[in-house]
Amino acid sequence: MGINVRVNNLAVSYNGVKVFENITFSVESGQLVGIIGPNGAGKSTLLKSILGLMSIDRGEVEILDGSISKARRKIAYVPQRNDINLDFPVSVEDVVMMGRFPHLTWWGLPRRKDREVVTESLKEVGMIGYRHRQIGQLSGGQLQRVFLARALAQEAELFFLDEPFAGIDISSETMIMDLLRGLRNQGKSIFVVHHDLNKAETYFDTLVLLKNRLIAFGSREEVFREETLKEAYEGRVSTFAGSDKLMVVNG
């Protein structure tokens, strides 16, 4: 397996305030990567910086052995739900068709294959019956399924999801995780900003633990150490009685 994403000495500030610095790691293909850390640690900023959606102070990001601009069509991004204008008069099917944009002809009209990919993507996330629904009429879980369907329709190599499980029902969360594991098994790389430390241990193969710098990077066993988590969460880490499972207290 080759390296899909390489981050070297990345530093980012926002309105003159340092968000993080000295972030260095690399991720091979076929990895499900969780970006975790306390509130304000810089998780979403890291994701956007990798994608070229924010300016960086210093450092380098290499994606698929090149720059983000060269790899753009191979990258699917699912932003946080509160970044979306739900009043925009667009249907579920239209949103998913947006994922086909890199594949459309120069005149921009979808072909039969594009419509077939959109239909299949909606079926995969259980939303085919909502294809003509306006997106503002969907629940949080349904909306997140639609955005995942858009990512699937793009047929990308790398997937970046920012807090995809925030405010959704457990059935949607389970379905999304099953799909992400399936993509991982196809050799895709998936990066997920995730706030629930207690689920992250079972959800991801590799973890990036931030608190305005890189606290730890590696396998679940390497990152889920009590001393490491206490450093990131300022000591608010304990264990369940009678087990060695870690949890954040008032986190």
Q: What pLDDT, in 10s, does the model give residues 79-125? A: 887 767 777 788 999 999 999 887 776 666 788 999 999 999 999 99
- At 134, list the tokens: 């306006």
Residues 138/83, Cβ–Cβ less than 8 Å = no
Query: How far, in Å, are 65, 192, 234 from residue 248 at the CA level?
Result: 37, 19, 10
Q: Which residues contact 250 (CB under 8 A, 6 or more apart)?
A: 236
Q: Average pLDDT of the chain?
A: 87
- What are the tokens at 144? 């997140």
pLDDT tens profile 44-65 = 999 999 999 999 999 999 998 8
For tokens 């300022």, name the residue.
234
* pLDDT band at 77; cut points 50, 70, 90: very high
pLDDT for 91 equals: 93
Beta strands in the chain (DSSP E): 3-14, 17-28, 32-36, 58-63, 75-78, 158-162, 189-193, 206-210, 214-219, 237-239, 246-248
What's the structural domain count of the chain? 1
Locate tokens 């300016």: which residue? 55
Asked whether the beta carbons of 124 and 179 are under 8 A apart, the reply is yes
Q: What is the mean pLDDT of residues 182-190?
A: 93
d(CA 242, CA 251): 21
Residues 6 or more apart in contact with residue 76 via CB below 8 angstroms = 99, 150, 151, 152, 154, 156, 158, 159, 160
What is the CATH classification number for the domain harbouring 74? 3.40.50.300
What is the average per-residue pLDDT within 159-167? 92
User: DSSP assignment, residue 31?
Assistant: -
Worst-scoring range by mean pLDDT, 2-6, 25-29, 235-239?
Answer: 235-239
Q: Tell me: pLDDT of 1 over 60.
A: no
Residue the block writes with tokens 């039969």: 112
Q: Which residue has the tokens 């305030």?
A: 17
CB-based contacts of 97: which residues, under 8 Å, 6+ apart? Answer: 110, 114, 115, 118, 153
Q: Which amino acid is at 111?
A: R
Structural domain that includes position 212: 3-248
Point out which residues pair with 190 in neighbouring strands: 32, 159
Backbone phi, psi, residue 222, to 5°: -75, -35
Which of 3-7, 146-150, 215-219 is predicted with the least confidence, judged by mean pLDDT? 3-7
Question: Is the pLDDT assigned to residue 145 strictly greater than 60?
Answer: yes
Name the band, by pLDDT with cuts 50, 70 and 90, for residue 20: very high
Question: DSSP string of 97-117?
Answer: HGGGGGGS-TT----HHHHHH
Question: Does the pTM of the predicted model rise above 0.85?
Answer: yes
Q: Per-residue confidence at 241, pLDDT binned at 50, 70, 90?
A: very low
